[in-house]
Amino acid sequence: MSLELEKQFEIKDSRYRSSTLTNGLGKSGQRALLYATGMDEEDMKKPFVAVIGSFSEMVPGHAHLRELADYVKQGVIEAGGVPRQSETIAICDGLCQGHKGMCYPLASRDLIADSVEMVVEAHHFDAMVLLPGCDKIIPGMLMAAARLDIPAIIVPGGPMMPGNVGGNPLFCSSELREYPGRVEAGKVTVQQMKEAEKAALPTVGSCAHLGTANSMCMLTEVLGMALPGAGTAPAVSNKRKRIAKASGRAVMEMLRTGLTPRKILTREALLNGVAGAMATGSSTNLVLHLLAIAHEAGVELSLQDFDTISWEVPFLCNLQPSGKYPIVSLDSSGGIPAVMKTIEGKLHTEAMTVTGRTVKQQLEAVEVHPDDVLRTLDHPQKPEGGIAVLHGNLAPDGAVVKQSGVREDMYHFVGKARVFDSMEEADAAVSGDTIRKGTVLVIRYEGPKGGPGMREMLSTTALIMGRGMDADCALITDGRFSGATHGPCIGHISPEAAAGGPIAFVQDGDEIEIDIENRTLTLHVSEEELRKRREGWQPLKKPRKPALAKYAYLVSSADTGAVIDVSKL
């Protein structure tokens, strides 16, 4: 083949990854396929940008993402790129609560990261804009961004507006979850509950409180992977649409300058993420996800980092479920830029962001007007961060509690164990009024391997809170909790029961001591007795379909982020 002939097919700058598809005499078939999608010869010369969403008609946090993607594509086109839209899956944690479907959301996080990798690598995209909405989709896409390390920006779907129930215009679904317990306790009528269900979630978007979904939305901004305002702008606002269009333009600038996720997702940025979580009172699930993102970015991050920063960064934001207000109230109070400005002295301000500016440069023009939504460092909601990490003979590798949602008189609690091998067993016991004051409910075999999938125990905690039992009982589990959970609930116990952790050998009546202030979780049983209980032990193995069986085999412990252990492949 002559050099002259080959030059006639040098359509695009060979520095672009997508030139693999467009350049060369032998790529006639690839070009034909691109023409079939509506491209013309001018498009072939431009960079290709993947616009990967997670649209779903089943999930409120994702139902508007196709419209949002249209604005992203406008921005990409304005900046000289060719956007091409694709979708990945989205599972709603809220719909999965309280049944076996909850085994799937955490496992979907890695499937989402894999699906983004497959589309982007197979089609040689030059850059990507990722549009997630809720819990596991946001970290899955952040993991993919770190893994692929091509110019990437996140456009989260944003929070829904609060409902108006019983004259409360700030009503969120986190409170609705407690209604079954209130009905059973005679505090709410069946008709009141039915009316509340219709009014609680009035728009699309992530549930209005600071659950895992909005914790992750806000985290994208703290990490520098989303534009300012992206963490809290309401899903139905024109502000959200403007951010989407601006993100399309911004990713093209990142491509021009060579700014990629691993230049942004440094250890310093991830520590900023931990600090942001502490200040806002974010979901404990954020611990799992930050550890997994760090793993993909090749950055060292551990539970110890969370504990260290928890002592240093106070809990500032008066947000549901631990406080009074929905996420849109924080947006009105300055959003994440105002939170970061308030804790600026606790942040690594040299960290880079998708704007091409450092955190320090981003915060220079930010003004903060403290109010009841966002407090000051001198007058915080609580003097310590929202999340605490506990250790002890019951959790040698750590456990996690959202201390911002725990009554201070429950920071220290000693009770007798009541042991359950599944969430359903615990729910039946609470609903059957068989749980007495002074009980520590122990729910095990719900960890990453044992569940499998590390189900959230929201149905159990909602029943407990709905009955007002949060002053009399505590709950510990090797599973996890919804971001909507509050009360004395400790999760992520590692090692989990399925891996032979001490939680597997707790028996009814054992004394358990929880000491959040001193960060300890203690089973008052002698080591000699525990050794006897371990003799002849075999882990409980629950029925599982192929997807979960593969996940259970490959997944690591919660204290490392429940990441896929590739050494087993």
Query: Alpha carbon of 175 to those of 150, 165, 245: distances in Å?
Result: 41, 10, 34
Alpha helices (H) in 333-476, listed in sequence order: 335-342, 359-363, 423-431, 458-466
Question: How far is the C-alpha of 63 from the C-alpha of 544, rounded, in Å?
Answer: 30
| Close Cβ partners of 59 (under 8 Å, ≥ 6 residues apart) | 90, 91, 92, 95, 133, 134
Structure tokens at 162: 């609060």
Q: Which amino acid is at 201?
A: L
Parallel/antiparallel/unpaired status of strands 127-131 and 163-165? unpaired
Scanning the structure block, which residue is given the tokens 């007795």?
A: 529
Query: DSSP character for 555?
Result: B
Residue 497 has a pLDDT of 97
Cα separation, 389 vs 422, whole angstroms: 23
Pair 143, 130: CB distance under 8 Å: no
The predicted structure's pLDDT at residue 135 = 86
How far lies 60's CA from each of 160, 203, 395, in Å?
Answer: 9, 8, 36
Three-state secondary structure readout of 193-260: HHHHHHHCCCCCCECCCCCHHHHHHHHHHHCCCCCCCCCCCCCCCHHHHHHHHHHHHHHHHHHHHCCC
Helix (H, G, I), strand (E, B) or coil at 515: strand
Backbone angles phi, psi at 222, to 5 degrees: -60, -40
What does the alpha-carbon distance between residue 357 and residue 509 come to, in Å, rounded to a whole number? Answer: 57
Instruction: Tell me the one-letter amino acid at 91.
Output: I
Taking the C-alpha atoms of residue 135 and residue 217, their distance in angstroms, rounded to an integer, is 9
Q: What is the pLDDT of residue 178?
A: 78
Distance CA 229, CA 221 (A): 8
* Assigned token pair, 452: 């499998």
Please count the other Cβ atoms lying within 10 Å of the Cβ belonging to residue 535. 6
Residues annotated catalytic, as ranges: 482
Hey, what are 98's tokens?
Answer: 């309280």
DSSP readout, 444-504? -S-STTTTTS--B-HHHHHHHHHTTGGGT-EEEESSB--TT--SSEEEEEES-GGGT-GGG
pLDDT of res. 170: 80
- Provide the pLDDT for residue 1: 54
Give the pLDDT score at 115: 98
Please tell me the distance from the alpha carbon of residue 265 to that of residue 152, in angstroms, as a whole number.
Answer: 11
Is 277:285 a contact under the CB 8 Å cutoff? no
Predicted pLDDT of residue 526: 96
Among all chains, which residue has been given the structure tokens 């997944």? 555
d(CA 63, CA 474): 36
Task: State pTM to two decimals.
Answer: 0.94
pLDDT of residue 159: 96
Q: CA 42 to CA 39: how far, in whole Å?
A: 8
Contacts of 143 (CB under 8 A, 6+ apart): 109, 110, 113, 292, 293, 295, 296
Q: What pLDDT, on the 0 to 100 scale, is given for residue 525?
A: 97
CA distances (Å), 417 to each of 475, 504, 506, 532, in order? Answer: 9, 12, 8, 19
Q: Are 100 and 66 in contact (CB under 8 A)?
A: no
Paired residues of 82 in beta bridges: 48
In tens digits, the chain (569 residues) has pLDDT values of: 567 888 889 999 999 999 999 999 999 999 999 999 999 999 999 999 999 999 999 999 999 999 999 999 999 999 999 999 999 999 998 888 878 898 999 999 999 999 999 999 999 999 999 999 988 999 999 999 999 999 999 999 999 999 888 888 888 777 787 788 788 888 889 998 898 888 889 999 999 999 899 999 999 999 999 999 999 999 999 999 999 999 999 999 999 999 999 999 999 999 999 999 999 999 989 999 999 999 999 999 999 999 999 999 999 999 988 889 999 999 999 999 999 999 999 999 999 999 999 999 999 999 999 999 999 999 999 999 989 999 999 999 999 999 988 888 999 999 999 999 999 999 999 989 899 999 999 999 999 999 999 999 888 888 888 788 888 999 999 999 876 677 789 999 999 999 999 999 999 999 999 999 999 999 999 999 999 999 999 999 888 999 999 999 999 999 999 999 988 88
Residue 416 carries which DSSP code?
Answer: E
The alpha carbon torsion through 240, 244, 246, 252 (nearest 10 deg) reads 160
DSSP secondary structure letter of residue 372:
S
pLDDT of residue 483: 66
d(CA 283, CA 327): 13
- pLDDT of 7 reads 85
